[in-house]
């Protein structure tokens, strides 16, 4: 079998062979090679122990790292004469096994390439190419599964998922990333063992969820996450969107709507030159979170109408809680929950065109999330009524055009009250304290409502407000 192997892989193979060690390209790079996908991150496994091949890498590469040393992995950066850079990681033949209650795998070294491949997650990742001989090694028929676009485990799925429960998350991630389906036996084991995902650290689960969302087919990945039962343990708010009508019927209006919003939001992402370059994790997280407050706020009115009052505010709180549980960073949590809380903000504009003051306030309040918020809002308009859809789109177009015109006159990001905190204290004879903050907020609101005014006008408004306070 002929392979177009990178000179980096061949050179490294020759180096290891010269020192009596086996080396093979494994996993994702082999899979991607067969799929004719580019790969600049190369993974290898070897018969050598880290202490044996470390000096070889340090001499051969252009940069070295050993963060994975405890797992038998060392890494190196290799720069080629044509300017291309390759990230290379090499791991001693190994076996990863979870103890029943452990959150991290225990690592033990193996003694053969075939044994190493048997411990990998799926057959499509359990293929190897020995270098420099270019022998193709496929003991579990991974190439056939690759052609069929199916995910199977090299050993029994029960053993595989018991050894490393994170493989269950990787299964649904590969559905999103590669557009594959999960084999029947593997899917059944995944469903039966889904609860075991709870022993995996939140950070590892979060990373797989993010990779899923940033993949080419995130909708399919999310559907697999729900169908497998994994979502019940890591993101229960999502399957909860399949709202029950009564004991005999179910509908998926909110669930299906949310998946549509995700698709539409992705379509609104821009290229690298635009305001929301895709794939954008913040926007995609907001899309799947924006309605999670609906199940808790659903109410059946006497006239048969269903309402979800304040689901935006409730949903924002639920978003913060879930993202904290998954150990997202504070900035991402704040941005996504703010988008969820503001996602209904624009709707009033469709019925009544806002004043310039209201437009300023919208832009000021949304801040750096302005472009994402507009895209989330557009994506959320999934009505089947074409006339209503067109009216909504025209209203959003109008708002965005007005913002452009207003920004030509003033810098929204730099909007401040016409009197600052020191001036407020001097004018009102105050010492630092809560009244200064309240006065500042009032004057900021006045600035947003009226635009920039002369200093004397601002002082007059400040004094008027102060007289009305219950001091």
Kindly state the average pLDDT of the residues 312-338.
Answer: 98
What is the structure's pLDDT at 250?
47
> Tokens 């579990």 appear where?
140
CA dist., res. 242 & res. 260, Å (int): 14
Q: How confident is the model at residue 249 (pLDDT cuts 50, 70, 90)?
A: very low
Q: Give the model confidence (pLDDT) of 177-230 as tens digits.
A: 999 999 999 999 999 999 999 999 999 999 999 999 999 999 999 999 999 999
Average pLDDT, the chain: 90
What is the structure's pLDDT at 148?
96
% of residues, the chain, pLDDT over 70: 94
CB atoms near residue 240 (< 10 Å): 18
What is the structure's pLDDT at 389?
86
Cβ(91)–Cβ(71) under 8 Å?
yes
Domain boundaries in the chain? 1-142, 270-414, 421-467
CA dist., res. 362 & res. 367, Å (int): 8
Q: How confident is the model at residue 271 (pLDDT cuts 50, 70, 90)?
A: very high
CA dist., res. 436 & res. 180, Å (int): 60
Q: Transcribe 327-390 into DSSP letters.
A: T--HHHHHHHHHHHHHTTTTHHHHHSPPPHHHHHHHHHHHGGGHHHHHHHHHHH---S-HHHHH
CA dist., res. 408 & res. 375, Å (int): 22
Q: Taking each helix axis as running N to C, give the angle between helix 370-380 and helix 281-289, from 0 to 180 degrees, rounded to the nearest 10.
A: 40
Cβ(137)–Cβ(154) under 8 Å?
no
Burial class (CB in 10 A: 0-12, 13-18, 19+), 82: exposed
What is the structure's pLDDT at 51?
94
Is 80 exceeded by the pLDDT of residue 410?
Answer: no
Is there a cis peptide before residue 54, judged by omega within 30 degrees of 0? Answer: no
Q: Give the model confidence (pLDDT) of 219-230 as tens digits.
A: 999 999 999 999
What is the structure's pLDDT at 430?
87
What is the structure's pLDDT at 246?
47
Kindly state the average pLDDT of the residues 273-297.
Answer: 96
Q: Give the model confidence (pLDDT) of 369-382 as tens digits.
A: 999 999 999 999 98
What is the structure's pLDDT at 101?
59
Which tokens in the block code for residue 252?
A: 């998926």
> Tokens 């105050």 appear where?
430
Q: How confident is the model at residue 248 (pLDDT cuts 50, 70, 90)?
A: very low
Q: Which residues does 126 contact at the CB level (< 8 Å), separation at least 6?
A: 27, 117, 118, 120, 138, 139, 140, 142, 154
Cβ(125)–Cβ(162) under 8 Å?
no
What is the structure's pLDDT at 3?
64
Q: How confident is the model at residue 407 (pLDDT cuts 50, 70, 90)?
A: confident
Secondary-structure class of domain 1-142 per CATH: alpha beta
Q: Give the model confidence (pLDDT) of 96-114 as tens digits.
A: 555 555 555 566 777 899 9
Residue 244 has phi, psi (to 5 degrees) of -80, 135
What is the structure's pLDDT at 377?
97
Cβ(90)–Cβ(54) under 8 Å?
no
């Amino acid at each position: 079998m002929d392979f177009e192997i990178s000179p980096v892989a061949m050179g490294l193979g020759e180096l290891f062979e010269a020192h009596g060690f086996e080396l093979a390209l494994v996993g994702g790079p082999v899979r991607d090679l067969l799929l004719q996908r580019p790969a600049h991150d190369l993974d290898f496994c070897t018969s050598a122990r880290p202490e044996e091949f470390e000096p070889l890498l340090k001499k051969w590469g252009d940069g070295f790292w050993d963060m994975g040393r405890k797992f038998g992995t060392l890494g190196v950066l290799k720069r080629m004469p044509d300017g291309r850079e390759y990230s290379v990681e090499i791991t001693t033949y190994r076996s990863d096994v979870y103890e029943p209650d452990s959150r991290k795998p225990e690592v033990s070294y193996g003694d053969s390439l075939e044994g190493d491949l048997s411990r990998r997650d799926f057959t499509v990742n359990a293929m190897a190419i020995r270098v420099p001989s270019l022998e193709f090694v496929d003991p579990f028929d991974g190439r056939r599964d690759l052609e069929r676009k199916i995910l199977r485990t090299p050993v029994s799925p029960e053993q595989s998922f018991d050894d490393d429960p994170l493989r269950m998350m990787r299964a649904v991630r590969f559905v999103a990333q590669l557009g594959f389906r999960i084999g029947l036996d593997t899917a059944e084991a995944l469903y039966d063992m889904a609860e075991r995902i709870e022993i995996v650290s939140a950070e590892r689960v979060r990373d797989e969820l993010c990779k899923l969302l940033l993949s080419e087919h995130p909708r399919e990945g999310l559907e697999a996450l729900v169908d497998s039962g994994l979502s019940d343990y890591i993101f229960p708010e999502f399957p909860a969107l399949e709202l029950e009508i009564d004991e005999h019927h179910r509908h998926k209006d909110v669930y299906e709507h949310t998946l549509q919003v995700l698709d539409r939001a992705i379509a609104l992402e821009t290229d690298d030159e635009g305001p929301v370059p895709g794939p954008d994790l913040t926007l995609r997280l907001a899309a799947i979170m924006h309605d999670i407050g609906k199940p808790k706020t659903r109410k059946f009115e006497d006239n048969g109408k269903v309402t979800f009052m304040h689901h935006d505010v409730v949903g924002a709180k639920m978003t913060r809680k879930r993202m904290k549980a998954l150990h997202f960073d504070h900035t991402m949590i704040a941005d996504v929950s703010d988008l969820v809380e503001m996602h209904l903000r624009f709707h009033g504009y469709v019925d009544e065109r806002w004043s310039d003051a209201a437009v300023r306030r919208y832009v000021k309040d949304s801040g750096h999330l302005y472009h994402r918020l507009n895209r989330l809002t557009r994506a959320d308009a999934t009505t089947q009524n074409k006339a209503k859809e067109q009216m909504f789109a025209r209203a959003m177009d109008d708002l965005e055009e007005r913002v452009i015109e207003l920004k030509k006159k003033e810098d929204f990001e730099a909007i401040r009250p016409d009197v600052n905190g020191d001036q407020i204290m001097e004018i009102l004879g105050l010492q630092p304290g809560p009244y200064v903050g309240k006065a500042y907020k009032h004057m900021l609101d006045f600035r947003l409502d009226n635009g920039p005014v002369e200093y004397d006008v601002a002082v007059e408004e400040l004094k008027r407000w102060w007289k009305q306070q219950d001091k």
